[in-house]
Amino acid sequence: MEKYKERFSKYEKNRWTGLTISLCVVVVFYMLLSNLGNMKDFFNSFFAITSTVIIGAVIAYIANPFACFIYRHIEKKFKETSKNKAWVLSAVISLTSMLLLIVVLLILITPRLIENITAFARGLTGYIDSFKQLVLTSELDEKYKISILGFVDEQTDLTTLVSTVFSGNEITPGWVISFSAGIGSKAFGFMIGIILAYYFLCAKKKLVDTLSEFFFLIIPSKHYSDWSNVCNRLNAIFSRFIVCELVDALIVGIVNAVFMFATGMPYAVFCSVVVALTNLAPTFGPFVGAFIVAVILLLAKPDAVIIWLVFTLALQLIDGYVIKPRLFGSALNVPPFLVLVFLVVGGKIWGVPGVLLAIPLAAILAYIYSEIVVPWLKDRKRVKDAAQAKENTSDKKAKTEET
C-alpha cells in the first residue's frame, strides 16, 4: 500500500509542477500583452539609437549571398594563404554591384517619379471635382451620394497637404531647411551604414568563428551539432526570403510599368513604385497596392481602371503560382493562419518592418516547431509510454505475487 501512495504522491507532484509552469507562461504572456505599448516604445528607442548599425548589418546580410556566390567562383584563383583576400574582393564586388543597381534605379526612376507625383498633386483638385460630378450624375440612391460626397469632402485637408508638399505651393524657407536637414541626415546615416556593411562583410569569418566558439562553450557537445544545423537552416530561410522578396517586388514593378506604358496609362512610374513597394508586404500588400493605384486611375482615367485591375489579377496569379514558387523553392512552408498572426502582431509592435518580416519569422517558428519541438515531444512521449508500460507490468507482477 505504501508503494502506491508514494507513486500517487509523485504523480501529484509532477502534475502540480506542470500546472505551475503553465500558469507562469500564461502570466508572462498576459504581462507582455498588457505592456505592449511600453515594449513598442522600448524597441523604437533601441532602433533609433542603433539604426545606423542596423542599416549596416541589413545591407551586409542582403549582400552576403551574392558575395558568397562570387567567392565560390574566384577562390580557386587564389592561393590557400590568400583566401581572405578573395573574400574581401568578393565583398567589395557585391556591395559595389548592389550600390550601382540602386543608383541606376534612382537615376532612372526618381525624375519620372517626382514628375508623376507633382502632376498628380496639381491635378488632384480637378480630379476630385470630376469625381464629385460623376457621383452626382450617377443613378445611385441619394443617401449613398451624400455619404460618398461627405467622405470626399473630409479628404480636403489631405488634398491640400499633398498639393502643398509635392506641387511646391506655400513652402516656407523653414520647411525647406528642415526637410533638407532630414534628407541629409538620412543620407549620411545610409553612407555610414554602407561603410559598416563593408566591415561586417570583411569580418564575417571572424564574427562567425567567435560566435561559434562562444556557443560551443555554453552548449553541451552532444547538442552542438544539432544547434549548428538549426542555425544554418534558419539563416538559409531568412536570407533566401529577403533576397527573393526584393527580386520578386522588382519583377512585379517592372512588369506593371511596362504594361502601363504600353497601354498609355497615366502616372506609370508612380503607380509601379507603389505596386512594387506594397508587394513587399506579404499576403495583404498586393491588395493595398491595387486599391491605391485603382483610386489614382479612377480619378485620372476612369476608363482604364477595369483593364488595369484585370491585368493586376493575372499578374498576381502568375506571381503567386509561378514566380514566387520558383524563387523561394521549398525554403518556406508556412501555414496561412500563422502568417496572419505574425502580420498583426509584427505590425503592432514594429510597424512596417514587422509586416515585412512576418513571413520569415513565421517560417522560422514553423521550422522550429516541426523539426525540433515535435521530435522532442515524440521522444518524451515514447519514454513516458515505455515507463508507463514497465510500471504496469510491475503492477501486474506484484498483483500476481500477492494472489
Domain regions of the chain by residue span: 51-204
Lowest mean pLDDT segment, chosen from 144-153, 165-174, 235-244: 165-174
Q: Is the pLDDT of residue 255 over 90?
A: yes
DSSP label of 139? -
Q: Is the pLDDT of residue 145 over 60?
A: yes
The mean per-residue pLDDT over the stretch 122-135 comes to: 74
Confidence of residue 403 (pLDDT cuts 50, 70, 90): low
Q: Is the pLDDT of residue 102 over 80?
A: yes
Residue 240, pLDDT score: 77
Residue 259, pLDDT score: 93
The closest alpha carbon to 256, from 234, 277, 231, belongs to 277
Residue position matching grid coordinates 503553465: 22
The mean per-residue pLDDT over the stretch 243-261 comes to: 88
The mean per-residue pLDDT over the stretch 229-233 comes to: 78
The closest alpha carbon to 234, from 246, 226, 352, 51, belongs to 226
Residue 235, pLDDT score: 80
Q: Give, in degrees to the nearest 5, the angle at Cα 353 between 350 and 356.
A: 125
Confidence of residue 103 (pLDDT cuts 50, 70, 90): confident
Confidence of residue 146 (pLDDT cuts 50, 70, 90): confident
More confident residue, 260 or 153: 260
Task: Quickly list DSSP for 301-362.
Answer: -GGGHHHHHHHHHHHHHHIIIIIHHHHHTTS----HHHHHHHHHHHHHHHSHHHHHTHHHHH
Q: What is the mean pLDDT of the chain?
A: 75
Residue 1, pLDDT score: 45
The closest alpha carbon to 116, from 265, 255, 303, 278, belongs to 265
More confident residue, 196 or 354: 196
What is the pTM assigned to this prediction?
Answer: 0.65
The mean per-residue pLDDT over the stretch 133-159 comes to: 68
Q: Is the pLDDT of residue 65 over 80?
A: yes
Please say whether the beta carbons of 153 and 131 come within 8 A: no
For 207-228, how does the pLDDT look when each residue is reduced to its tens digit (9 = 90+)? 888 888 887 888 777 777 777 8
Tell me how far apart the alpha carbons of residues 245 and 4 are, in angstroms, rounded to a whole number: 61
Residue 5, pLDDT score: 45
**Alpha helices for 203-284 (secondary structure H):** 204-218, 221-262, 268-279
Confidence of residue 3 (pLDDT cuts 50, 70, 90): very low
Q: Is the pLDDT of residue 7 over 50?
A: no
Confidence of residue 310 (pLDDT cuts 50, 70, 90): very high
Please say whether the beta carbons of 71 and 86 come within 8 A: yes
End-to-end C-alpha distance for the chain, whole angstroms: 15
The mean per-residue pLDDT over the stretch 176-195 comes to: 75
Q: Is the pLDDT of residue 22 over 90?
A: no
Residue 211, pLDDT score: 82
